[in-house]
Amino acid sequence: MEQRTQFYIDGQWLAPAGTGSIEVFSPTDGAVLATVPQGNAADADAAVMAARRAFDAWSATPPAERAAYLKKIQDGLKARTDEIARTITLEMGMPYKLSQRIQVGSPAASFGMYSKMLADFPFEEKVGNSKVVREAVGVVVAITPWNYPLHQIAAKVAAALAAGCTVVLKPSEVAPLNAFLLAEIIHAAGVPAGVFNLVTGFGPMIGEALVTHPEVDMVSFTGSTRAGTRVSELASATVKRVALELGGKSAAIILDDADFAVAVKGVVGNCYLNSGQTCTAHTRMLVPASRYAEAAQLAVEAAQAYRPGDPMAEGITLGPLASKMQQDRVRDYIAKGIAEGCELLTGGAALPAGVNPAGYYVAPTIFGKVKADATIAREEIFGPVLSIISYTDEDDAVRIANGTVYGLAGGVWSGSDEHAEKVARRLRTGQVEINGGPFNIYAPFGGYKQSGNGRELGKYGLEDFLEYKAMQFRPAPKP
């Protein structure tokens, strides 16, 4: 069992002020995988003050020098790809081969992207008699989730460091081990002391101490809408900038002119990626009422390709959920769907065959004939559960897709990109896949409504960590 006993603060590995520890469980068999320190308010203060002391020098560091550090971090991540992928698979359950590509490949790409972006990013411009400059917002607290743990860390930390901010990271206590590996890589890259700091602990103790700290200028949070609301409330007392990436209940609209065999398979794959633990997962599949039976059959057939089991084993395409709490939550939603009269087409709450009964597994599940106002069609489940909903025409499909409190993502499938785009423009979401278009880290990521505010990734993510300053110059006297 791995034991982490120190925090990374002010360029050093230091013993925490808090005396407790947090157990990290293996979702594959429920055993204790590791322990990490349980930080408290004193640890939060130490990390924030280290970041504050480092801010002036780091924000004044030329962009080219900051870029060089980011490139070293990217290289460090690539060099330890297998180790990091294995760690993330063991702590949160994504199949190992997918972890190599997604859970490590994406974070490395983010650090590389921001390293390159600094070469010509317009930090200042002339506007009339003013020089408008963009400067680092200050000390940033990054609070990140467990489903794509290192990707979400990188999206915040890489952009914040590129902008000239200093950072205190609090990763999820469910999957924190990857963050310690990142801290080792950042230290090896020679990043100045205090620029990046790592603490772990529970939200109500160390998380709230970070959010309310008067020396913190910005909080970037990814997690549930409920927790995001709490972060906003606490941060408002000191008028901090708050960026939130929260929940989703994304709909994929399959139009009548789409290739149904391709579209349905694509939606099922999107829904089941990472065992459904994806905030942008297309968990509602909207199909024309006249073609419901065809879509339902294709969906059930597509689900058969998802084999639950040990995520380190060959041939496994669906790992366990990240925690026992999450497993219980998803099972409860499945029971609720059945109780509300939705048609269970495949899967269900029973443990899948052949898996370790102590693991946190849920079978790939599909409900048909789901009404738009059913609980499983409105609330975020965060598991491998797909709801098939029928619509009468395109206006009805758009109404259903937009009919939740969320607005993070969605998809449209059609025989032509032009037709799909026409419908996509009507969706109130921050991201829409057109005919299965792949994720793009250079595009802005974030949501409408209760899916949050602010944007991550690309130049848009960098801009979120910058303030504007206008300096007015007296015009030169006329000759």
Predicted confidence (pLDDT) per residue in 120-143, tens digit: 999 999 999 999 999 999 999 999
Tell whether the model's pLDDT for residue 477 goes beyond 90: no
pTM: 0.96
pLDDT digits (tens, 9 = 90+) for 22-37: 999 999 999 999 999 9
Tell whether the model's pLDDT for residue 438 goes beyond 90: yes
Burial of residue 185 (CB within 10 Å: 0-12, 13-18, 19+) is buried
pLDDT at 18: 84
Structural contact between residues 251 and 357, judged by C-beta atoms closer than 8 angstroms: no
pLDDT at 479: 80
Tell whether the model's pLDDT for residue 1 goes beyond 90: no
Q: Which of 245, 380, 433, 456 is catalytic?
A: 245
Tell whether the model's pLDDT for residue 476 goes beyond 90: no
pLDDT at 380: 97
pLDDT digits (tens, 9 = 90+) for 62-95: 999 999 999 999 999 999 999 999 999 999 999 9
Of the chain, the percentage scoring pLDDT greater than 90 comes to 98
Secondary structure string (H, E, C) spanning the chain: CEECCCEEECCEEECCCCCEEEEEECCCCCCEEEEEEECCHHHHHHHHHHHHHHHHHHHCCCHHHHHHHHHHHHHHHHHCHHHHHHHHHHHHCCCHHHHHHHHHHHHHHHHHHHHHHCCCCCCEEEECCEEEEEEECCEEEEECCCCCHHHHHHHHHHHHHHHCCEEEEECCCCCCHHHHHHHHHHHHCCCCCCCEEECCCCHHHHHHHHHHCCCCCEEEEECCHHHHHHHHHHHHHHCCEEEEECCCCEEEEECCCCCHHHHHHHHHHHHHHHHHCCCCCEEEEEEEHHHHHHHHHHHHHHHCCCCECCCCCCCCCECCCCCHHHHHHHHHHHHHHHHCCCEEEECCCCCCCCCCCCCCCCCCEEEECCCCCCHHHHCCCCCCEEEEEEECCHHHHHHHHCCCCEECCEEEECCCHHHHHHHHCCCCCCCCEECCCCCCCCCCECCEECCEECCECHHHHHHCCEEEEEEECCCCCCC
Tell whether the model's pLDDT for residue 9 goes beyond 90: yes
Q: Which of 91, 173, 271, 279 is catalytic?
A: 279
Segment 103-108 mean pLDDT: 96
Q: What is the mean pLDDT of the chain?
A: 97
Segment 380-401 mean pLDDT: 98
Of the chain, the percentage scoring pLDDT greater than 70 comes to 100
Segment 273-290 mean pLDDT: 98
pLDDT at 475: 87
pLDDT at 44: 98
Structural contact between residues 406 and 450, judged by C-beta atoms closer than 8 angstroms: yes
Known catalytic membership, residue 245: yes
